Amino acid sequence: MKNCILLLLAAWPHIGAGLPGQSEYNLSKGYTVTIHGTLSIHDWVETVGQVSGDMMAGRHTGGGLDVNSVRISMIVRSIKGDMGAVMDKKTYKALKADTDPEISFRLDAPVLVMPVGVKEKPVALVGHLTLAGVTRPATLWINYFAIAGDGIRFEGEQTVKMTDFGVKPPSALFGTLKAGPDITISFKTVFTIQQK
């Protein structure tokens, strides 16, 4: 398994929107985005059905990727869990789906992502997450990165404390089932170059 080392390049002038060598990539179908959490009796998992995203990036001479921007958006009401429709509705209410229908992540600064062999240590994409109408700093941890043809494959996760975003963890059965405040968003995605 290839992994990568992440270097912040905010001060490097050769990376920027519209510069030569930069291409627009879009999130391809076939992605998997899941949300994992805990309940008072057992763990739970939800799947996000509708996700969109784009990225501006260019191939680096060392075999890596100059990433100028990343945007990912998830539709709250496309989330379906293993606890049934009642818990899904409680999730939508907790995440304020009526007023804030999307969860989104944006990269803060350009980065260079480079393969470094078989090391297992994950690396960080630092940005901001918007959840339930609240935007806070957040980090996407990349566990796997690979370039294959016109596709860029990323796998990783992001842990979020719901209470940091003003979200009260959902509960059911008169409070006997209570979700813990921490959730982990896991993703397997492929971005492909936009055809002009």
- Whole-number pLDDT of residue 29: 92
Q: Find the length of the chain.
A: 196
**Mean pLDDT over all residues of the chain?**
81
**pLDDT (0 to 100) of residue 60:** 78
Residue 25's pLDDT band (boundaries 50, 70, 90)? very high
Q: Give the residue carrying structure tokens 């170059």.
A: 193
Domains and CATH numbers, the chain: 4-11+22-193 (2.40.128.110)
- Least confident range of 45-49, 56-60, 77-81, 129-133: 56-60
Residue 16 has pLDDT above 50, yes or no: no
The structure's pTM equals: 0.81
- What span, in angstroms and rounded, lies between the C-alpha atoms of 26 and 5? 23
Least confident of 46-60, 61-75, 115-129: 115-129
Task: Pick the range with the lowest mean pLDDT from 30-34, 50-54, 180-184.
Answer: 180-184
**Helix and strand counts by DSSP (H, E) for the chain:** 1, 15
Instruction: Please list, residue by residue across 164-184, b when 16 or more beta carbons sit within 10 angstroms of its beta carbon and e when fewer do.
Output: ebebebbbbeeeebebeeebe
Are 167 and 19 in contact by the 8 Å Cβ rule? The answer is no
Half-sphere exposure (CA, 13 Å, Cβ side) for 155? 12
Mean pLDDT of 22-49: 89
